[in-house]
Amino acid sequence: MPGGYEGKRGVVLGVANRRSIAWGIAKRLADGGAELAFTYQGERIEKNVRELADSVGSRLVTACDVRSDEDVTRVFDEVADRFDGGIDFLVHSVAFAAAEDLEGRFTDTPRDRFWLALDVSAYSLVACARAAEPLMEARGGGSILTMTYLGGERAVPHYNVMGVAKATLDASVRYLAWDLGEKNIRVNAISAGPVRTLAARSIAGFPTMEAIVEERAPLHRHIDSDDVGAAAAYLLSDDARNVTGTTLYVDSGYHAMGM
């Protein structure tokens, strides 16, 4: 694996189950020797996350409500205690929009649920980056990675407010890269093609999205969380030490096509 992760420490947000993109990344990093801390949202998935974390030897699993600055601060204080005040990377794989806003017209998105989607899916990266900054600075730098999607650049039917949230996330990556670069902290994103995750099941027409990608992508095949994990392993490694503020597409080339 590029660079290796022996002696590296990091935090992974967004694991829900074995099919999660965040788990594909975490497994790859753990296989490379990284020591990981995990967060989870809500009691419903706590058992899954704890079992997965235990399978890679993690000794810190904690709840995190990314809409609460106080909770984010608490989580990173726990991380600092666990990892002697420093971390090398942060994986942010967190997004949410109300199911009803991924079905009808984007125009009909109510104000409160619009801000909910942007808060959870985009501002949470800013909040977590701010909390992680001193922990990475203590290690001489670090790497932050988030998950985006082509729906932030182009209109994808039914993606709706989540597309707007991803566009906000994409811009946040670039501004965070500028702010944190002087601390030797890199910030990047992966834009993955359709992956059958728990979150994907809430998007109306997801099977159609998969079929279109298979038909029109240059490689004519789907991707899975292991593919994203491999790309993340590079972006989070020292081999990518001069890569920041960028988006790496893992979508069989679909993003390059006009039709």
Please list the active-site residues: 149, 159
Residue 85 corresponds to which tokens in the numbers above?
């005040």
CA quadruple 233, 234, 236, 239: dihedral sign: positive
Measured CA to CA, the distance from residue 127 to residue 104 in angstroms comes to 30
Measured CA to CA, the distance from residue 136 to residue 26 in angstroms comes to 18
Neighbours of 98 (CB within 10 A): 18
Question: What residues form DSSP beta bridges with 142?
Answer: 185
Residue 173 corresponds to which tokens in the numbers above?
């990556």
Q: Are 192 and 228 in contact (CB under 8 A)?
A: yes
Residue 76 corresponds to which tokens in the numbers above?
């990173």
- What CA–CA distances, in Å, run from 24 to 85, 88, 121? 26, 18, 19
Q: How many CA atoms lie within 13 A of 241 on its CB side?
A: 6
Nearest to 200 by CA among 92, 96, 49: 96
Measured CA to CA, the distance from residue 234 to residue 72 in angstroms comes to 27
Residue 251 corresponds to which tokens in the numbers above?
């979508």
| Beta strands 247-250 and 89-92, pairing class | unpaired
Burial of 218 per CB tally in 10 Å (0-12, 13-18, 19+): exposed
